[in-house]
Structure 1
């Protein structure tokens, strides 16, 4: 036994160092995931304890497709992602291209653009709530000043509430996306630009045939992370609109929260959470497959 211990001393030491992290991973991540899978096939009000667990099979998964609140939340989420992600990228890439050159106070400008990403969601939501006030908000006061007599109601309007949330979401993630694009731009070999200059390529041609193709791995990573982030939008909705008015800003994450902690339908909430996970998984796999195709073409 002692001979075996001496022979495997280094391995055992390594396992002992890893053990606390593994126990935390199993206890705080793996077991809750497995429990949520089981929970999605049950009906459970946690206030009544584990004795109230009732197995219902696929009923939760079937019920959500007849649930108009769920369908509305899913539709809003898809619209939010489809508009916010391209909007962020269309603003962040040109910003990164500009700041990748010699710009006066470049570091300060980068910091200012990145600050919304690391700011408190609560503080940001409160500030935007003041900006969006229909009667005396800064945005509507400005619009009235330039001649628009009937400006939008923003978060109090069923028409403008979702666009208002999209603006906040895009504003908060532009800095994050810009930093990733800057890292990608700085990783492009300068030899490619020098060779294209020798061939007489214009800046526009270099952008289309050198910069954008070389940024494909960065763009792939950005699209995946932005989709995951925007599908899980919650803080802004909770602070500003609570899904209203008339569920016009309700998203899946918010509805999952409401179902679990307001209606105490933990089984139903777990089922919706797994549907959200499957949606994100399918999107990621499709993007991954497309990325492989790009690599082969390139």
Structure 2
């Protein structure tokens, strides 16, 4: 019997002699190849639809081109002409004004709604209702709000007069009211997206913080001030960046509802890019405006990322 055992023991290693030995380097190389295989579609899309157009935009911004004929080199003349263009300066002021109106208000409202819907009964239905405007096309929403904001027969002015005896303003024809009116629409449309992000941030806060605060006798306001808001700062930081980028790129509402008017009171940077390119057919100047917008967004984002170290607090810190 000992002989049989020794025979089996001797023949056992021979079963693995034909298998190739996988070294650490070969395994690492295989993993790298599979990783490159899976990210290849995204990388191709990024290069074809983002990086190459970005490089071409910088090139076209230094040329005179009407979109059809030959291109001629203009250097930085297109950038200089844009900074000297009164319409471009008006567009920058209007866009910054729109950003100030929409970003803080939208973030505060979304945070309050998320806190209110975090543990309420029937929260799934409420979340669905608040999120529905987000999946609706902005052009369709703008057309509906054109009717609501109509100064003569719009529902808003009608209800203001019947219920409160107030003569409603000329929402889309008054230069002082038109941009707040568009901002109101944008806040309503973006509320659902920001609310969902804040809800995700609230779900990531450990309940142990609130339990400890309740034991210490902290009120709900103190809990929100000292626990919820600080631990929501990473989400607030992300929402702020995305909201500012979106506000700098506002176009649909202004194009559909007011066509940049009245008296260019709702004339934004992207609307200026559209007008310069597809109305005046000066693609060099239009692309220069787009490059300036890109630099503005990049600068604001980098500034926010640098300043975030002072007020963004992570739970594991």
Q: TM-score, normalised by structure 1?
A: 0.91
Q: Which residue of 1 aligns with 2:217?
A: 200
Q: Give the Cα–Cα distance (whole angstroms) in 1 for the partners of residues 272 and 284 of structure 2.
A: 13
Q: Does 1:213 align with 2:230?
A: yes
Gap regions ≥5 residues in structure 1: 1-6
Q: Give the Cα–Cα distance (whole angstroms) in 2 for the partners of residues 192 and 33 of structure 1.
A: 46
Residue 19 of structure 1: CA displacement? 4.8
Residue 71 of structure 1: CA displacement? 0.7
Q: 1:161 aligns with which of 152, 155, 178?
A: 178
Q: 2:63 aligns with which of 42, 46, 51?
A: 42
What's the secondary structure of 1:47's corresponding residue?
Answer: coil
Q: Give the Cα–Cα distance (whole angstroms) in 2 for the partners of residues 296 and 194 of structure 1.
A: 20
Q: Give the Cα–Cα distance (whole angstroms) in 2 for the partners of residues 219 and 179 of structure 1.
A: 12
Paired residues of 2:254 and 2:267 also in contact (CA < 8 A) = yes
What's the secondary structure of 2:263's corresponding residue?
Answer: coil
What's the secondary structure of 1:37's corresponding residue?
Answer: helix
Distance 1:90 1:21, change over 3 A: closer
Residue 27 of structure 1: CA displacement? 2.7
Deviations along 1:197-253, one digit per CA (max 9) or x if unpaired, are 111111111111111110010000000000011110111111111101110001101
Residue 16 of structure 1: CA displacement? 5.7
Distance 1:94 1:28, change over 3 A: closer
Deviations along 1:66-121, one digit per CA (max 9) or x if unpaired, are 21111111101001001101111121111111101233x22111111111111011
Q: Give the Cα–Cα distance (whole angstroms) in 2 for the partners of residues 108 and 190 of structure 1.
A: 24
**What is the 5 A alignment of 1:244-283?**
244-283=261-300
Q: Give the Cα–Cα distance (whole angstroms) in 2 for the partners of residues 9 and 78 of structure 1.
A: 50
Based on CA coordinates, which of the two structures has the bigger radius of gyration? 2
**What is the 5 A alignment of 1:1-298?**
15=36, 19=40, 21-48=42-69, 51=70, 53-103=71-121, 105-295=122-312
Q: What is the Cα-based RMSD across aligned positions, in Å?
A: 2.0
Distance 1:282 1:10, change over 3 A: closer
Q: TM-score, normalised by structure 2?
A: 0.85
